[in-house]
Amino acid sequence: MNWLYRLFRFSLLVCLLVPALAAAHPLSQTPSIEHHQLILELRPDSHQLIATDRLTVRGGLSGQELVFSLAPALVLERIEDVTRCQDPCESAPEVVFRRENVAGGTVLPRVILSQPANSENDNRVQLKFSYRGVIDDPPRDPRHLRFVTPSETSGHIGPEGVYLSSESQWYPDLDDSLATYDVRITVPEGWSAVTQGTAQSDPARWIVSTKSEALTVVANRFVVKTRPWKAQSGQAILLATYLFPDEAALADEYLDASARYLDAYIPLLGPYPFTQFAVVENFFSSGLGMPSFTLLGSGVIKRHYTQPYALGHEIVHSWIGNGVFNRVSRGNWVEGLTTYLSNYYYHELTGDAVQAREQRRLMLLGYAVYVRPGEGYPVKEFAQKQDEKDNAIGYQQCAMVFHALRQEVGEEAFWRAVRQIPERYLGAVADWDDLERIFQEVAGRNLRWFFAQWVERAGVPDIELSGLRVQPSRSVAEAQGGTEVVVHLAQRGVPYRVSIELEFVLSEGRTHRTRVQLTDSQQDVIVLVPERPRAVRLDPGVHLFRRIARADMAPMLNLYVTDAQRTMVVSREGSGTPGPFPDIVQRIVAQEAAKPALSRTTVVTAGSEEWSAARAGSWLVLGGPRDNPAASAVVQQCRDHLRLTDNGFFVDGKTYEGAGMALLVSCRREDHPGSVVTLLYGVTPQALGRVARLLFFYGWQSYVVFQDGAVVARGDWEDMMSAEVPSETR
């Protein structure tokens, strides 16, 4: 089960007193469920679930309480001890139980057994729960403007669809259990149900033979398409799509993409852990991975969600997160490694070096923008993604930790260790200590320093390149046919032990790269280069995860979003003017109003001829000079980068004209280098309709050009992440 599903479990308990579970093993392990045999009927029109669960429990001490989770909205009709009874069981003894109440008549989620269950071979007991009830928590829209999350719901059974995940607590469970499942699901005529594992010849039955943390069931009026498929490795896998009729024509696109990613990752991670993989359409916004299927909202399906960071990411979770599990209380490494393999490494694997570098750059930018100095926390403490800061640490920084580990141990050792993670821990839990042990064993050396520095320490390296000079005495260098130079590097704060690349700029556009080791706060590095260099650049390939100063980043919308002081400048008529801007204004105003008063950093003001460019912080200006005089101040700050014309605009050396053209552009404030001015401009209001709704998804470039709502060009102005330091001696 993807880690997201494990994080919001209700603290609702059903307790069973079973005194004789440890007769054979007086010091038995923590009790856990080994197997569920579920019979489930779903009635969407009435939101009802009717179920029985015959579960096998192993472990526990004599007299110990077993603490189950089960939603209190579900009426527990009876519990039977079926340990000595073959299924079907006609005369199993009922276990007497009672529910406790508190003041006001609220039912506690505790059911106390007043008589013991029978203990059988290997310290196992079988109990049969019979229960029913209503699960009706309609999904709600995501709360974030720039950060897409699944709509919030604890589970829903309704005419529009069924979604039952572990948050629903729709079947009895014990904490930390890893179980197998045999499930029969009855749904109305015309409906299909999907869950984990393998669909049987009887379409109502599914068998989950690989241990799983939890079971998710979805159902709807699907058009089902399957494709028997064999990977290049020879493994047979059933590919499937469960799509709504309106999107059924996209089935082959998703089946083709699924096959492409499986063929890419099986050689890296080993055999696919399941017998099938399905793309399932959801009735609310989601992009989630479960063992053997991914659940994607209709809006996502329509947008051809087949990119590496999308469908590829969910397929990698089949091994990492849904095959090998982690306990978030001990650190969530799963999302970092999955992000590294899908969002980043797929580009490298397919030979797209330009996009691979861009992904590394975006990971550094994400951290620099959303994690201010002193506000980071150790990667090992990441549990879940609640905001962009968590995303920057738990996904992006953690992904680059694996990139650093790969550089440290080498290609062969790194990929052999990655493959051993599912080999050793498929169907089990692994944490950071287990990963450290695997990489140390494969590399054949102690890596304690690496994990202490990169996983257990807050922050990232902050390195400054401050000098380049030619050595006065060059006899040795000249004898070897080169020039000896000294590069001065400094690390702010407690220094890291890192390896970093330097690129020397030579004559006629040639360059020379070398890698150096840093360990000290102040360090002079002596390098032999082929000829006298003109300048030196730090980490031009962006392979080291480090802090980038705001003033060294290319100007972009996300620098406005994360500035300590922000001003949104609307037209003189205000946000009530008809057009695309009122929705942006209303969303931002509502977001600010929801914050504590001391945390509100956005000021909304109307542009005027007297509007002062001296206003501190970053600006977001909506509209052109005809409606908003502040737009002229943005054009002035952008200098030669931007010019507005009567029927369009000139940006990055090219002119764009026409009624469908729109532009999002950011430029640096010369008087405040860490702040930006951003302009959202459309030749006509119609050109901005779709752009305005998705504005904050375009936050990583200096300019984005749109035609009829579609991106036609994007790019950056000056990017000083790898700024040149000229030689002191020519």
Asked if 233 and 255 touch (Cβ cutoff 8 Å), the reply is no
- Smallest CA-to-CA distance from 338 within 308, 358, 368 is with 308
Task: Tell me how crowded residue 261 is: count the other CB atoms within 10 A of its CB.
Answer: 21
Cβ pair 334, 269 in contact under 8 A = no
Question: By the 8 A CB rule, do 129 and 111 touch?
Answer: no
Alpha-carbon distance of 122 to 28, in angstroms, equals: 10
pLDDT at residue 22, rounded to an integer = 34
CATH number of the 463-547 domain: 2.60.40
Cβ atoms of 111 and 69 within 8 Å: the answer is no
> What span, in angstroms and rounded, lies between the C-alpha atoms of 173 and 22?
20
pLDDT score, position 19: 35
Q: Quote the distance between the C-alpha of residue 584 and its chain's center.
A: 25
* CA pair distance 683, 645, nearest whole angstrom: 9
Same topology for domains 1-145+152-215 and 463-547, yes or no? yes
Question: In the prediction, which pLDDT does 451 show?
Answer: 98
Q: Are 682 and 625 in contact (CB under 8 A)?
A: no
pTM of the model: 0.87
Domain residue ranges of the chain, discontinuous segments joined by +: 1-145+152-215, 222-323, 328-454, 463-547, 557-715
pLDDT at 48: 97
> Domain 1-145+152-215 belongs to what topology?
Immunoglobulin-like (2.60.40)
Q: Which fold has domain 222-323?
A: Neutral Protease; domain 2 (1.10.390)
Token duo for residue 127: 């109990």
pLDDT number for residue 63: 59
Candidates 184, 215, 203, 14; CA nearest to 107 is 14
Q: Phi and psi for 52 in degrees, rounded to 5?
A: -130, 145
Say whether domain 557-715 belongs to CATH 3.20.20.
Answer: no
- The CATH H-level superfamily of 328-454 is Neutral Protease Domain 2 (1.10.390.10)
Per DSSP, the residues of 11-47 read ---EEEEETTTTSS-TTPPPPEEEEEEEEEEEEGGGT
What does the alpha-carbon distance between residue 392 and residue 399 come to, in Å, rounded to a whole number?
10
pLDDT digits (tens, 9 = 90+) for 93-124: 777 666 666 666 665 555 554 544 555 556 78
Give yes or no for a contact between 3 and 382, defined as CB atoms under 8 angstroms apart: no
The pLDDT value recorded for residue 56 is 92
**Low-confidence stretches of the chain (pLDDT beneath 70):** 1-29, 60-64, 96-122, 141-151, 473-480, 572-579, 594-595, 597-600, 607-614, 723, 729-730
What tokens were used for 346? 């797929």
Give the separation between CA 687 and CA 691, rounded to whole angstroms. 8
Cα–Cα distance for residue pair 97/131, rounded to 1 Å: 14
The residue whose two tokens read 């590294």 is: 340
| pLDDT recorded at residue 25 | 38
